[in-house]
Amino acid sequence: MPKFTLAERQFIKSIVATASLKRLTDNEIIAEIQKHLTDKEPVTRNYLYRVRRSIKKDSFNWYNNLREAKYDYIQEFKELINGIYWLQKQHYEIIQSTNNQSIRQVSLAELHRLNITLSNYLDVMPDILTNATLPATSNKESNEQRQQRQEQIILV
């Protein structure tokens, strides 16, 4: 198995995650990695499996951290919105400061896209604030959930 630097391992994770979303086969993913890391030996299916397992573990840990620190994900959501505000400000400045029509058009199009994204975020914000706790990751139903379900059945 080839030895990879930390940067290469992160790059491979990125390729595997993107390729998995595109539903590429293992052989296609391996070819994509090899295309970018030509000076290394090709990765094996076993290595690819370990990378996928690592991605799942990282995702699970990220979700658990957000679930346990109830309001941290609200803070992350707020940072996303603040990032959009900052990008909007930058595009407004570009539009005001340039005389080049093609640059202004590109900036206006991007500003429109940012407005739509911001609108979508603001549409879901009340739901996020109302449901300030994320559901548990366990498949087991809690006693409280079971009791509520039974009460709903009785009411019907």
pLDDT in tens, 141-150: 455 655 555 5
Are 134 and 66 a contacting pair, CB within 8 Å? Answer: yes
Q: Which residue has the higher pLDDT, 152 or 128?
A: 128
* Nearest 10 degrees: Cα torsion 32, 4, 58, 76: -80
12-26, 72-86, 87-101, 127-141: least confident range: 127-141
∠ at Cα 75 (70, 76), nearest 5°? 105
**Mean pLDDT computed over 41-49:** 89
Q: What is the pLDDT at residue 144?
A: 60
pLDDT category of residue 42 using cuts at 50, 70 and 90: confident
Mean pLDDT computed over every residue of the chain:
81
Alpha-carbon span 63 to 97, nearest angstrom: 42
Task: Evaluate whether 110 touches 91 at the Cβ level (below 8 Å).
Answer: yes
